[in-house]
Structure 1
Amino acid sequence: MTSALAGQLAAAPISWGVCEAENWGCQLPPERVLQDMKDLGISATEFGPTGFLPVEPKPRAEMLRRYGLTAIGGFFPSVLHQDGNDPLPAIERELAAFEAAGATVLVLSADSGAASYDEKQEMTAQQWKTFGRNLDEAVRRAADRGITAVLHPHVGTMVESAAAVDQLLNSTAANICLDTGHLLIGGTNPLDLVRRFAARVGHAHLKDVKADLAGRVGRGELGFTDGVKAGMFVPLGQGDCGIAELVAGLQAVDYAGWYVMEQDVILTAAPEGQGPLRSIRESRDFLLGL
């Protein structure tokens, strides 16, 4: 890889259909996914959902090293908004595992507690207070370990809509995971967010989506899972997120974080031949050509 982005480029198991949501489809084994990453020349990856890689930090790190991959951290759903529920012990355990594995980015989502991402959620004023208090404390505890904790606006979580994203940025000190696809589906223009809040982008998940399907999901006309099955996510540069402009906007402010390629897919069976690898290679080539 010779592009200026090569040193910031990473992958995530969701591009191979590996997901924490129930009934998501065929879950490929880590050996297949990690070998594909290695074959692509990718040198860093997120962990994927709990249980995809070994749970214990040392075996987890050793498995990634066997494939020449650096652990950068990953996605961790957490119920942050409910009074009487303390999310911090579980976050502390995850932070300890991240620290032991050398990972540096904890990507929190404002989990609703539901089993899927197909329901729309929103918080009351009191829940926002609880959420903000827990989130800011999680960010502080992560920083004490040298780990960056960011909040990931995500379809089907408590922070999905444009109004919720604005409230997150205006009422907490947390930085954001710029997930271009989930932001667009939720009604936030990701390019506008970069223009207004580039300094608050602590991590980037690069997704591209078809705007027509994203709009239907955003309006509740189509469930998120059905949108994925219908091909809502496409290789980078082939959708409507303006990926080239987004990357240029971040590079212009010397963004030094990771660009994680993510193209959510649902597999009905273990693929023969290249499977998801073909689309991910197209995304990689697009980024390296910028």
Structure 2
Amino acid sequence: MSVPHAAQPVLDRIRVGSAPDSWGVWFPDDAQQVPWQRFLDEVTEAGYEWIELGPYGYLPTDPAVLRDEIARRSLRVSAGTIFTSLHHGPSVWDKTWAHVSEVATLTQAMGARHLVVIPSFWRDDKTAEEIEPRELTAEQWKQLTTGMERLGKQVRDEFGLDIVVHPHADTHIDTEEHVERFLHATDSDLVNLCLDTGHYAYCGGDSVKLIRTYGERIGYLHLKQVDPDILSDVVAKGTPFGPAVKQGVMCEPPLGVPALPPVLEAAQELNVDLFAIVEQDMYPCPPDQPFPIAERTRRFLRSCGA
């Protein structure tokens, strides 16, 4: 007697895409990165329809040029990305807003609705030098949370975009404790999360638990996995994030953790449309390495129903 297969979950609220990050792109201009034209060609050929802008200046910043380039490849943009140091308080606001305005202008022009906001690093990801304390003071937490709310309101008022804050390794919003503290201190009408499954696992968090506990605060997903063996070594040695990436701590799904099907199913159960953008940190990497991984990853996600 044959055992019937369980029905594949329907993941019709999940919109899968990829990002320059999956092609080893961390900087606007770097000799170790593939040219932007190659990224756009290969992300299309790998089967993705949505992309992020990546570091501002990597893709063309002239809206007319970029609109033409993505339209020719039947691509659409889901979000732009910014880095912020808002825990430093009002003194950094003007510089922050000048950069945000550039990225938001291009993001809006591409028809996207989200800005992914990454907090600044407390440790230099190349030298491992601690450039700030790992823990914020109570006053710095207040500056961070009120600054993010101000940013969320101004970005929405001026550009019609929603910010989604990205918990990230080697930043002050990383562990479950820090993420929950941040959520409790911010207004859900102004600030929500970009849950990066790899970074959250890297910092000891459980993505499915976070989605089920704070589902109304999950505004966006980055799909990523970590290699548990390499992560154990990274944690034991206190390796900073940049060198950890060079070690291969972020790996190709489904070879690492967390398992992505339960994450996608929990996200689907929220019953809202969510972007799920594949990001496999690989800087630096050989130019021929990203495409086959991206293609296999897209095939794997289709097998999960996404």
TM-score by length of 2: 0.85
What is the aligned counterpart of 1:155 among 143, 161, 169?
A: 169
- Structure 2 residue aligned with 1:85: 92
Secondary structure at the aligned position of 1:81 is classed as helix
Structure 1 gap segments, 5+ residues each: none
Alignment of 1:1-290 (within 5 A): 4=11, 8-20=15-27, 26-83=32-89, 84-86=91-93, 87-112=96-121, 116=125, 118=128, 119=130, 121-144=134-157, 145-173=159-187, 174-218=191-235, 221-271=238-288, 275-290=289-304
For 1:53, give the aligned amino acid: L
- 1:121 maps to a residue whose letter is R
Percentage of matched positions with identical amino acids: 27
Secondary structure of 1:176's partner? strand
CA contact (8 A) 2:17 2:49 kept: yes
The match for 2:6 is none
Q: Work out which of the two has the higher radius of gyration on C-alpha atoms and give 1 or 2.
A: 2
Matched residue of 1:85: which SS? helix
TM-fit CA distance, 1:97 = 2.2
Instruction: For 2:248 and 2:204, locate their aligned partners in 1 and report how far apart those are by CA, in whole Å.
Output: 19
The alpha carbon displacement at 1:212 in A equals 2.7
Superposed CA RMSD: 2.4
Deviation at residue 218 of structure 1 after TM alignment: 4.3
Q: Give the deviation of 1:185 after TM superposition.
A: 1.1
**Larger deviation: 142-151 or 108-117?**
108-117
Please, which moves more after superposition, 185-194 or 196-205? Answer: 185-194
Q: Are 2:33 and 2:284, in contact at CA under 8 Å, matched by a contact in 1?
A: yes
Q: What is the identity, as a one-letter code, of the residue corresponding to 1:254? A: N
Distance 1:20 1:129 in 2: 30
Paired with 1:180 and 1:26, the residues of 2 have a C-alpha distance of 26
CA distance in 1, matches of 2:240, 2:221: 24
The structure-2 alpha-carbon separation of the partners of 1:5 and 1:279, relative to structure 1 and needing over 3 Å to count, comes to: farther
Judged with a 3 Å threshold, the aligned counterparts in structure 2 of structure 1 residues 240 and 4 are, in CA distance, closer, same or farther, namely: closer
- Tell me how far apart the structure 2 counterparts of residues 160 and 50 of structure 1 sit (CA, whole Å): 23
> Which secondary structure state, in structure 2, belongs to the residue aligned with residue 8 of structure 1?
strand
Note the alpha carbon deviations across 1:89-132, whole angstroms, 9 max, x for none. 33233222221221211000111476537557332111111111
Residues 113-157 of structure 1 show CA distances to partners (whole Å, capped at 9, x for unaligned) of: 765375573321111111111101111122233212110011122
The gaps in structure 2 that reach 5 residues or longer are: 1-9
Flag the structure with more relative contact order, 1 or 2, with Cα contacts below 8 A and sequence separation at least 6: 2
When residues 64 and 6 of structure 1 are mapped into structure 2, their CA distance, relative to the original with a 3 A threshold, is: farther
2:274 counterpart SS class: coil
1:130 aligned partner, one-letter code: Q
Whether contact under 8 Å (2:28, 2:55) holds in the other structure is no
One-letter identity of the residue aligned with 1:42: Y
Cα deviation for residue 28 of structure 1 reads 0.6
Alpha-carbon distance between aligned partners in 1 of 2:258 and 2:29, rounded to the nearest angstrom: 27
Closer, same or farther: CA 179–21 of 1 in aligned 2, 3 Å:
farther
Do the aligned partners of 1:108 and 1:151 also contact (CA within 8 Å) in 2? yes
Between the aligned partners of 2:82 and 2:113, the Cα distance in structure 1 is 13
C-alpha distance in 2, partners of 1:257/1:267? 29
